[in-house]
Each structure stands twice: as C-alpha cells, then as structure tokens.
Structure 1
Amino acid sequence: MNNDISTSSSYLDSIRWQEQQVASSEDESDALTQEDFFSLLTQQLSYQDPSNPADNDQMIAQMTSFTMAQGITDLNTNFESLASSMTSNSALQASTLVGKQALLESNTLDLNETGDARGSAVAEEAMDNLKIKVTDESGQLVRTIDMGSQAAGAIRFAWDGNNEAGERLPEGEYTITAEGSTNGEFSSLPVATFKNIESVNINGSSGIIINTKEGAVRLTDVAEIA
C-alpha cells in the first residue's frame, strides 16, 4: 500500500502561485517609507563619533527634508487624481454637446425640413442698408433679407426657408452673404452660421474638440452653443 501523500493539486498550486505573486510584488517596491528613513537615522546615530556628535540643527534639517519630500510626493499624487477627475468631468460635459448646434464662421446655411436657419453677421462699425442674400446650390439668388440700419457688433438674422414668392424651399445647404454700406461705400461682412455638432473629442493639449460636417474646431473658438 502506497502511503505517500501527494502535495500536487490545482487548489494547492493556486495557493502557491498567489503566495509567490505577493512576495514578488513586495520585493519590487523600491520606494523609501518613513520607517526606512528612521532606520537610516538610527544607524547614523549609532555610528557617529561620541566625541563629535551630530549637530541638532543638522538632524532637524534631515527630518525636515524628508517630510518635505514626502509632502511633495503626496501632492503630486493628489494632482494626478485631480487631473484624472477633471478629464472625466470634461468628457462628461463634452458628451452633452452632441446634437446641439455651434455658431461657427461659415458662408453656408443648413436648412432643415422645418424651422428657421439662423446665423450672425459681424460689423466693425454701424451699417446702412444691410442685406442678407441666400443662394442655392446652382448659384441662383432665392431670397434677400433686408436688415436695414444696424449698429456695430454681432447682427443676428433668421431665414424662414421661403423664397421671394413665399414658397418653402427644399432642405439642404445654401450659401449666404451679408452686404451693407458705411458712409456710402458697400462692403461684405463676415458671417457665422449654426452647424450641428456630430461628435466631440477630448484632446490634452487642445482641450475639447467639436466635429461638424465642415471639420473639427476647438470649443474655445465657438462663439455660441444652441
């Protein structure tokens, strides 16, 4: 009869593996702890010359240096945690922008099945006889919106999607221009229109990037979210 006891089993092997893993993780720790510092300090005191002991100011300076180093390490850890939390919050806030509209510099206007197409013209000085002109894909002028006299600044406008005859035009992309006169001289104004935000990206160096069909722009370059 064989009385040998086998010590090989999947259960025992799993225990041995866990023990080795714990020991390995402990051995790999190279960080000096407060206990290590006091052990070194104790060794330093035990080997010092009794006739010429260490100065109290030097001992205090060493303890202060260690405390400061530990404090800086803790501060870096806290900053990393804060940065991670801020990134998570930024990603959460950015996700709420999808589906909204961003006011971007553009000379195209998106007309949906229902509702108005809106935008803004920017005048550096007061304008007279300001007109917003809308053309279709073929370049045909379909609507002129008379804005009259306007003060300097951002001038908001809205197009109801109808042509000059009051007929609703098909949805799609239209080109828009703004022209007005100052002291009798006509000039074109830069125009910004609302674009649908299709997606957002979180970029460490550039912050939040919003993506529209016209391309990607930084959130800081967006004049308005609607």
Structure 2
Amino acid sequence: MTTTSSVNNNTTTAGITNALQGGSASASDLQNSFLTMLVTQMNNQDPLNPMDNSQLTSQLAQISQVSSMQTMNTTLNSLLSQVSAGRAMDSAALIGRTVMVPGSSVSVASGVPSKIGIDLPSAADSVSVSVLDQSGNTVRTINLQGQAAGVQDVTWDGKNDAGATVADGTYTFKVAATANGTDVKPVALVYGAVQSVSGDSTGVLVGLASGTTANVNDVRRIL
C-alpha cells in the first residue's frame, strides 16, 4: 500500500510565517524557501487533505511586499547617500564665511567682545543675558523686553555692571527668556569663521576658527 507523507499547509509554511513576522530573512531567501516548500508539499500532499491555496496565495503576497519594501529601502538609502554627498559639497562654500551657531563662549580682545546672539522659538516679554567670567561670577546682566521670535543679535559693550571695561579673555554667557511667566527655551548663539567642512554619523559639520564644530543644520545665520 502506498503511503503519503503528512506534509500539510500549516506545517510547511510555519517557517515562512515566522520569518516574515520576525524579519529574520531577506526577501530572496523567503522566496526560495517558499518555492522549495511549495514543490515539496505538492509532491507529498495528502489527497484527502490537499493544501490550502488561499493561504499559499496570501503568503506569496506577503513575500512580494517584503521584496518590494527591501528594494525601496535600497533605493532610498542610495538617494540619501547622494543627497548627503551633494550637501557636503554645497557646504564647502561656507569656508571663509562667518556663521552663527549655538554656543556660549564670548571672547574679549582689546576691550571689544565677540558678537553673540539668541534664538527665541517664540516671542518673549522678558529676556535676560548673563555674562560670566571663568570663575562663574556674573560680570554683566543685559535685560531685554518685548522680544519677537527668531534669531537676534545681542549687544554687549564689553563692560561690567559697574560700567568698567572687563579684562581681556574668554567669558561665557547664558540666556533666560519667558513669556507670561513660562520659559520659552531660548538658544544662545555665537559667531564663528568657518575654516573647514567635514562629516560624521550626525551629518555635515563646519569647523570654526575657535576650534569647535557645529552641525550645518544648526547654522542660524551666514554673513
């Protein structure tokens, strides 16, 4: 008497279903596995319990979708690489220019401080800029009222709160801003001359004369 293996639809396709759900195989691997199992099942199916065509069709559709998505991802990654390379080339035009980027350092040379600014995400009714020496002591507080949203320069004349010119050197500054008593999360900005352009996993970076770097996406102003 001839016997028939008990290879049914649920048994032969369980591995494919698990791979689809877990994402543990490529579309090509899934297609090859599917065809191999399909041929095996057709050769060994039980005449009294034939394979379920609807389930096989559904799984084949899933495999086709995975294949399409992987192809799309490959295409998108290629496009992103081209865009990144193009952006790096465009950013090279910034070399020699002065840009405004997030930062908190301000230097004073011959009594003249470097330029600083702020970025207000929304309008503020009260803005306070505090300049601190290297010991963390506040040497000057600049109060601004009724400031609109956006990037703005802050003028510091290089003097302390007593009206005396501060010593040359490096200082830091911090910004606080509120609207109706609520913090609007201002960003302190500094100016710097771009000397180089490079890139890493975070994107395109501009190297400044101060020795610091900033992501090109953080550039607020170009002079």
Q: TM-score scaled by structure 1?
A: 0.49
Which has the larger Rg? 1
